[in-house]
């Protein structure tokens, strides 16, 4: 049903716009979009960006065999209610994980992992033998990667304060028991490539592990982080790449000792202002998400050396980032809307450019191939 409303134009009160529904054909599916017929093609592309993971400048919209021009309105192009529009995407201009597949349009869909990372079917769970348990206690390293585990073996808990590293990556674990707190000296917990979902971990129990400095949860099915994440004050590295996160809780700002944060390849739309409280951050990877902007508070990260923002919808950077982040020397902006012209206008650019050139020179001195041009920066177009 068509709806009436004010014009999207200059607001002179003359014409009235009509809300229409158009169907955009892309990647084997039809995407319904409600939009004013007075809206421009450019506005339609901005609405399609979070739905398709294709940046606006990588979108080519075709209607009745003609490519739609950004500045023109849908009404002037005779795009009416029920119109079918084809979207063609330019290669290399995707954000997130690239164009959404039909089966991946719902966040609840289980993401398939590469064959090498999946537990093999009909393979029995590897039993724990006495010699293995003795080795764990002697070395402090509990290595159970790729053992087709569905639950944590009871023998692991008998290691008690001897265990410093627990590697359970590439299994079929769906949760960890609260008794994990018996590993009182645990420093490193690796759970990559499992079936961990929201509420599968007892974050309160993890917070009781006062020596825990490293958590890796890459390639699981986590959509939200609880506010209890802020209680893990001993944490130095947090890796949650390739999950389903849509945002980060404000409590993450309580992790004042956090040095490395990797949340690339998620569905994150925004970063909380509280990120500025993570004063010890050295490396932050926000690549391949759905970010349109960054909070100004990210400029408070005085120790930040590397910031990865590749494949997002960003059009600008915080105005003080070069001036206040005096250690920043690596900045990856490929696949964003940020151009060299934008970067060069930010105060402190010259000092940043000098730092990153110095870093490149050191790499060259060690015979590491590197370009003298601003490669980590923006696309040139």
Q: Is residue 348 part of a domain?
A: no
Q: Is residue 11 part of a domain?
A: yes
pLDDT at 251 over 60: yes
Output the pLDDT for position 114.
40
| Encoded tokens for 7 | 């014009």
Residues 92 and 15 in one domain: yes
Residues 167 and 67 in one domain: no
Mean pLDDT check: name the lowest of 86-90, 213-217, 218-222, 314-318: 86-90
Domain's final residue, options 241, 268, 298 = 298
| Sheet of 330-332, strands arranged across | 141-143, 165-167, 188-190, 214-216, 237-239, 260-262, 283-285, 306-308, 330-332
Distance CA 65, CA 27 (A): 18
Residues 132 and 280 in one domain: yes
Output the pLDDT for position 53.
80
Q: Is residue 263 part of a domain?
A: yes
Domain's final residue, options 37, 72, 101 = 101
pLDDT at 105 over 70: no
Residues 166 and 282 in one domain: yes
Q: Is residue 381 part of a domain?
A: no
| Phi-psi sector, 203: left (phi>0), alpha (psi -120 to 50), beta | alpha
Residues 256 and 137 in one domain: yes
Q: Are 203 and 226 in contact (CB under 8 A)?
A: yes
Output the pLDDT for position 361.
78
Mean pLDDT over each residue of the chain, to the nearest integer: 84
What CATH number is attached to the domain comprising 40? 3.10.20.90
Q: What percent of the chain has pLDDT over 90?
A: 66
Q: What is the mean pLDDT of residues 110-128?
A: 46
Domain that holds residue 282: 116-298
Which of 203, 208, 202 shows the shortest CA–CA distance to 185? 208
Distances (CA, A) of 84 to 28, 102, 105, 211: 13, 18, 20, 57
pLDDT band of 95, cuts 50, 70, 90: low
Domain's final residue, options 235, 265, 298 = 298
| Rg for the chain, CA atoms, rounded | 24
pLDDT at 7 over 50: no
pLDDT at 356 over 70: yes
Residues 156 and 270 in one domain: yes
Q: Is residue 22 part of a domain?
A: yes
Q: Is residue 370 part of a domain?
A: no
Output the pLDDT for position 127.
59
Residues 67 and 214 in one domain: no
Q: State how many domains the chain has.
A: 2
Residues 97 and 120 in one domain: no
pLDDT band of 51, cuts 50, 70, 90: confident
Mean pLDDT check: name the lowest of 88-97, 186-195, 261-270: 88-97
Residues 121 and 88 in one domain: no
- Give tens-digit pLDDT for 213-223: 999 999 999 99
Q: What is the mean pLDDT of residues 45-66?
A: 87
pLDDT band of 130, cuts 50, 70, 90: low
Got the DSSP string for 111-174?
A: PPPPGGGSPPTTPPPPPPPHHHHHHHHHHSEEE-TTS--SS--HHHHTTGGG--EEE--SS---
Q: What percent of the chain has pLDDT over 70?
A: 81
Q: Is residue 363 part of a domain?
A: no
- Give tens-digit pLDDT for 168-182: 999 999 999 889 999
Residues 183 and 34 in one domain: no
Residues 70 and 209 in one domain: no
Residues 128 and 152 in one domain: yes
Distance CA 281, CA 106 (A): 32
pLDDT at 118 over 50: no
Q: Is residue 145 part of a domain?
A: yes
Which of 278, 272, 322, 323 shows the shortest CA–CA distance to 301? 278
> Considering the entire predicted model, what is its pTM?
0.71
pLDDT band of 110, cuts 50, 70, 90: very low
Distance CA 73, CA 79 (A): 9
What CATH number is attached to the domain comprising 247? 3.80.10.10
């Amino acid at each position: 049903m068509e709806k009436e409303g004010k014009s999207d134009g200059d607001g002179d009160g003359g014409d009235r716009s009509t809300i229409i529904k158009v169907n955009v054909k892309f990647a084997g599916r039809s995407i319904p979009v409600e939009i004013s017929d007075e809206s421009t093609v450019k506005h339609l592309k901005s609405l399609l960006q979070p739905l398709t993971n294709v940046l606006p400048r990588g979108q080519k919209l075709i209607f009745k065999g003609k490519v739609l021009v950004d500045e023109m309105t849908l009404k002037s192009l005779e795009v009416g209610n029920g119109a079918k529009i084809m979207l063609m995407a330019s290669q290399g201009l995707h954000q997130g994980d690239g164009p959404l597949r039909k089966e991946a349009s719902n966040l609840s869909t289980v993401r398939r992992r590469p064959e090498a990372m999946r537990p093999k079917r009909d393979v029995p769970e590897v039993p724990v033998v006495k010699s293995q348990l003795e080795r764990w206690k002697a070395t402090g390293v509990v290595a159970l990667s790729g053992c087709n585990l569905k639950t944590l073996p009871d023998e692991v808990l008998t290691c008690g304060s001897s265990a410093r590293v627990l590697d359970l990556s590439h299994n079929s674990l769906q949760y960890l028991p609260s008794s994990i707190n018996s590993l009182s000296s645990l420093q490193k917990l690796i759970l990559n490539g499992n079936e961990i979902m929201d509420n599968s971990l007892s974050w309160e129990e993890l917070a009781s592990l006062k020596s825990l400095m490293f958590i890796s949860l890459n390639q699981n099915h986590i959509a939200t982080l609880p506010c209890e994440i802020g209680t893990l004050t001993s944490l130095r590295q947090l890796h949650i790449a390739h999950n389903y996160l849509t945002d980060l809780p404000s409590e993450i700002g309580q992790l004042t000792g956090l040095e490395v944060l990797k949340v690339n390849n998620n569905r994150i739309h925004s970063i909380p202002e509280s990120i500025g409280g993570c004063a010890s951050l050295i490396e932050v990877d926000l690549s391949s998400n759905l970010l349109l902007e960054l909070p100004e508070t990210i400029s408070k990260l005085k120790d930040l050396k590397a910031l990865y923002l590749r494949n997002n919808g960003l059009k600008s950077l915080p105005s003080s980032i070069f001036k206040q982040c005096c250690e920043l020397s690596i900045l990856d902006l490929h696949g964003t809307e940020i151009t060299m012209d934008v970067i060069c206008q930010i105060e402190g650019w010259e000092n940043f450019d000098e730092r990153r050139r110095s870093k490149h020179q050191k790499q060259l001195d060690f015979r590491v191939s590197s370009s003298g041009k601003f490669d980590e920066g923006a696309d040139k177009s």
